Amino acid sequence: MTGSTNVSFVSRLDAWRQRHVSDRELVLVLAFMVGFLASLAAYVLHFIIHEIKDLITSGFQVATINWLYLLYPVIGIWLTSLFVKYVVRDNISHGITRVLYAISTKQSRLKGHNTWSSIVASAITIGFGGSVGAEAPIVLTGSAIGSNLGKIFHLDNRTLMLLVGCGATAAVSGIFKAPIAGLVFTLEILMVDLTMASLLPILLSSVTATCFSYFFTGGSAMYDFKMDYLWSLERVPPTILLGIACGFLSLYFMRLMSWCENGYGKLSKYPYLKLLTGGVVLSSLIFLFPSLYGEGYDSLGLFIEGKTLTDWMQVMSGSMFAGQTKYLVLYVGLVMMTKVFATSATNGAGGCGGTFAPSLFIGGFGGFFFARLWNIEQLGVYIPEKNFTLYGMAAVMAAVMHAPLTGIFLIAELTGGYQLFIPLIIVTISSYLTINIFEHHSIYAVRLAKQGKLLTHHTDKSILTLMSMDKIIDRDFKSVGPDMEMGQLVHALSSSRNDYMPVLNENGDLLGEIDITKLRYIIFRTELYHRFHVSQLMTPPAAILGANDPMEDVMKTFDRTGAQYLPVVNVDNHLVGYISRARLYSMYRQLVADFSAE
């Protein structure tokens, strides 16, 4: 009874809205709501993470090792796995990739549980020490909030895409109090085109989320950064070198992350073995290097806000390296290189989190490592460690995400260090150009790009990506067997609405097809009806399409062959149906019109 009452209320609300509120006004109202709810979700997530961490680590000693580091991460991953398996019952990993997938293949429709499930799962994972970030879960949460609000009011797919973009923008803006970074993140990562129709809602969500984040957490920036050393031309060469180094560091991160994920994926049939393997790797690394615990922003703060060796030494607190000044550079280098193993072990074992924070973490440690080594070896002009920590954060994030603007504006807004714009531009360009030689897609997009399901700023390719193979396949067909006589074939053709008939064997495999236009000279010669069989009359199709072929390849196949229809088979070569050239181009033109409409 309650469910029907809720449906009735929503229906009445939608009917009232259609009479009194225009679609444009509704989008602005929803954009504001998305901004508020996304910032609230970000605050709740970080609050839970900090409460869990403070509760279980409050008694830890700073100067000595803590054995419970070997236990807590495993407990967190185990609890997360149970929550996902028995409560959510759906895959919620790779949050930003799931948003990209929803935009390109599901008409920007995200499930209702995505508005809260990632918050709970990632809070447990990170609070207990999982070495991942909270940003991807919040981006998924914000995007799901936008998508589900749009679905309530039955908005079209293009508007849903805009609201998903509003949610992602609000998530990033709310987490970092960085409205511009949130905006460019949506443009660079989610590939949502910025038009006059979409600019205002996205900006409204961004500013709303930022304002409410200030309300929830105070008015200070994430880091108390002080500009002690102004940028100068003599520091350009080391800045470029750092960018190139970060490009290769990003490549190391992406390739090793992919390799580790594939390894854990092979253990999917053995969940407890996967949990044990990933848990042992993660807990061992955190035991050796406590800086790997959780997101790692506190450790980065020591480099950004610290000024002396004493300040920086705190990063080794709780480890076997504590108090050993001579091992600082070694410790930082080891943490930088092992972070990817900790992150992949967290997600691979069943935890929930993203790679946003790990990329910032690796970049920050890489920047400090580079600057500290440079200054110890006295390779030239002194380069400030705190500045280069920030440069490294921007450079690795820009390269891993293929988002140079996001890297530039995020670090500038994160610290209030707007005087760093020129070196941030230099280092992100150097890093991005370096990795682009080896990887043409971001860590989020590479999986979808391989499947041809990635939405880009190329309008024609975006339209083809948005087209669904499922919706244009005609499954209403009559088939014939290869041993059928010509007389029976003529009778079958007379009752068919198409000019073609597929020839299938008893297993449903496609052997060829009968084209009535090619039989018109003999079809009325009754004396041949018992002389010929279908196997003698069939011809191979001009081309065969796979059920999972990217639409761009489908379009190219039609252009190459000039065919009016082509068969579609599944991985077992069983016929699924036919695609008509006319229907394909009709849907394409309709989507172009919808996509271009303001």
Q: What is the DSSP letter of 502?
A: E
Please tell me the distance from the alpha carbon of residue 146 to that of residue 161, in angstroms, as a whole number: 9
Average pLDDT over residues 194-214: 87
pLDDT computed for residue 480 by the predictor: 81
- pLDDT, tens only, 159-192: 888 899 899 999 999 999 999 999 998 888 876 6
Nearest to 308 by CA among 374, 222, 228: 228
Domains and CATH numbers, the chain: 19-217 (1.10.3080.10), 233-450 (1.10.3080.10), 461-596 (3.10.580.10)
Looking at residues 436-441, what average pLDDT do you find? Answer: 87
Answer yes or no: is pLDDT of 452 > 90. no
Q: What is the pLDDT of residues 294-312, one digit of tens each?
A: 898 999 999 998 888 888 9
336 versus 58: which is more confidently predicted?
336
| Confidence tier at 404 by pLDDT (50, 70, 90) | very high
Residue 397 three-state SS: helix
* Share above pLDDT 90 across residues of the chain, in percent, rounded to a whole number: 38
Q: Over 60: is that where the pLDDT of 458 sits?
A: no
Quick check: 4 pLDDT over 60? no
How many Å separate Cα 308 from the centre of its chain? 38
- Arithmetic mean of pLDDT over the chain: 83
Q: Which residues contact 126 (CB under 8 A, 6 or more apart)?
A: 49, 76, 132, 133, 134, 294, 295, 353
What is the reported pLDDT for 250?
Answer: 95
What's the mean pLDDT in 469-493?
Answer: 76
Q: Closest Cα partner for 143 from 122, 116, 115?
A: 115
H/E stretch holding 580:
strand 575-580
Q: How confident is the model at residue 209 (pLDDT cuts 50, 70, 90)?
A: very high
- Quote the CA–CA distance of 397 and 359 in Å, as a whole number: 5
Weakest mean pLDDT among 72-86, 420-434, 443-457, 550-564: 443-457
The pTM score is 0.77
Structure confidence by residue, pLDDT tens digits, 491-543: 777 666 666 778 888 877 888 887 776 666 666 666 666 777 777 778 888 88
Q: Minimum mean pLDDT among 56-65, 108-117, 476-485, 567-576: which range? A: 56-65
